[in-house]
């Protein structure tokens, strides 16, 4: 019934959750061209589709993108970069520090801008078909005792960056990145009370990760087909 409600009535918002779109990936498998989040998809940057679907489901939303491209500013939501000391650490290592850096940026932004919001919901910028009842289903699993981290699983795949995080972990995450050298999302998340939401029906269509030109073409075809059906 919940999925049907989302289908017929649009996105559903749940609780004091701040959305964080992680748009800092290099996207090497996409080949030469614009940054992966900015690749054109049905006439708009791919990240714009993620923002469009997630923004109505959360109390506020921020995009974490270290690239200063003006295209990010056109999303009409706040755009931030990784914290300066995290960027310094990345410079010393000669590489980006991965999604944990973006998750930390989102936590710290939420703590500043929405100090009464206890949770962030992270989503990668390459999942343009996010379900419109995503936050409702996730928050429905935030029972007592609440987990610190709640990730989405569909089929055999766990989406490490599609998750709800307690902002109370911000200090621990900062230390893990800067002092312990932790880089893997799963390694950090497993330290705390951790649960999964197994998406009903598998959810492969909702959680298509667009990582290659071929997958971008598949996504474009799906959007074109959906538009054609809506005009009938």
* pLDDT tens track for 46-74: 999 999 999 999 999 999 998 878 899 89
Q: Using CA atoms, how far apart are residues 67 and 29, in angstroms rounded to an integer? A: 18
pTM check: above 0.95: no
The better pLDDT of the pair 95, 54 is held by 54
The helix, strand and coil proportions of the chain, stated in percent and rounded to the nearest 5, come to: 40, 20, 40
What confidence tier does 96 reach under pLDDT thresholds 50, 70, 90?
confident
3-state secondary structure of 9: helix
Tokens matching residue 61: 């939303």
CATH, domain 2-230, list 3.90.550.10, 3.40.50.1820, 3.40.50.300, 3.40.50.150? 3.90.550.10
Write the pLDDT tens digit of every residue in 30-42.
Answer: 878 788 999 999 9
The better pLDDT of the pair 79, 7 is held by 79
Q: What percent of the chain has pLDDT over 70?
A: 88
Q: Using CA atoms, how far apart are residues 111 and 168, in angstroms rounded to an integer? A: 9
First CA to last CA distance, the chain: 25
* Mean model confidence pLDDT for the chain: 87
pLDDT at position 204 is 78
pLDDT at residue 142 is higher than 60: yes
Tokens matching residue 83: 């914290």
**Quick one: how far is CA 83 from the chain centroid?**
18
Q: Using CA atoms, how far apart are residues 198 and 158, in angstroms rounded to an integer? A: 9
H helix count then E strand count, the chain? 9, 9
Domain residue spans in the chain? Answer: 2-230
The better pLDDT of the pair 223, 100 is held by 100
Report the candidate in 202, 200, 206, 209 with the shortest Cα–Cα distance to residue 161: 209
What confidence tier does 156 reach under pLDDT thresholds 50, 70, 90?
confident
Write the pLDDT tens digit of every residue in 11-34.
Answer: 555 568 999 999 987 777 887 878
**Quick one: how far is CA 130 from the chain centroid?**
10
pLDDT at residue 226 is higher than 70: no
pLDDT at residue 4 is higher than 70: no
Q: Using CA atoms, how far apart are residues 19 and 38, in angstroms rounded to an integer? A: 19
Alpha helix stretches (DSSP H) within 55-208: 70-73, 84-93, 99-113, 134-140, 170-178, 185-189
């Amino acid at each position: 019934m919940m999925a049907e409600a989302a289908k017929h009535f649009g996105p559903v918002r749940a609780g004091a959750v701040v959305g964080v779109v992680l748009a800092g990936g290099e996207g090497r498998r996409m080949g030469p061209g614009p940054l992966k989040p900015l690749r054109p998809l049905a006439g708009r940057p791919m990240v714009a589709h993620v923002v469009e679907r997630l923004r109505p489901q959360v109390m506020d939303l921020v995009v974490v993108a270290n690239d200063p491209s003006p295209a990010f500013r056109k999303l009409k939501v706040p755009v931030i970069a990784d914290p300066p000391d995290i960027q310094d650490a990345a410079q010393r290592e000669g590489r980006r520090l991965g999604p944990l850096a973006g998750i930390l940026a989102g936590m710290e932004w939420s703590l500043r801008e929405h100090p009464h919001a206890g949770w962030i919901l992270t989503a990668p910028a390459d999942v343009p078909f996010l379900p419109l009842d995503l936050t409702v289903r996730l928050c429905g699993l935030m029972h007592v005792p609440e987990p610190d981290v709640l990730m989405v699983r569909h089929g055999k795949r766990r989406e490490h960056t599609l998750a709800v995080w307690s902002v109370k972990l911000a200090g621990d995450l900062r230390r893990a990145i800067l002092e312990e050298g932790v880089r893997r999302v799963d390694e950090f998340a497993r330290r705390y009370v951790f649960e999964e939401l197994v998406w009903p029906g598998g959810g492969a269509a909702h959680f298509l990760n667009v990582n290659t030109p071929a997958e971008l073409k598949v996504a474009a075809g799906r959007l074109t087909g959906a538009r054609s059906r809506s005009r009938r």
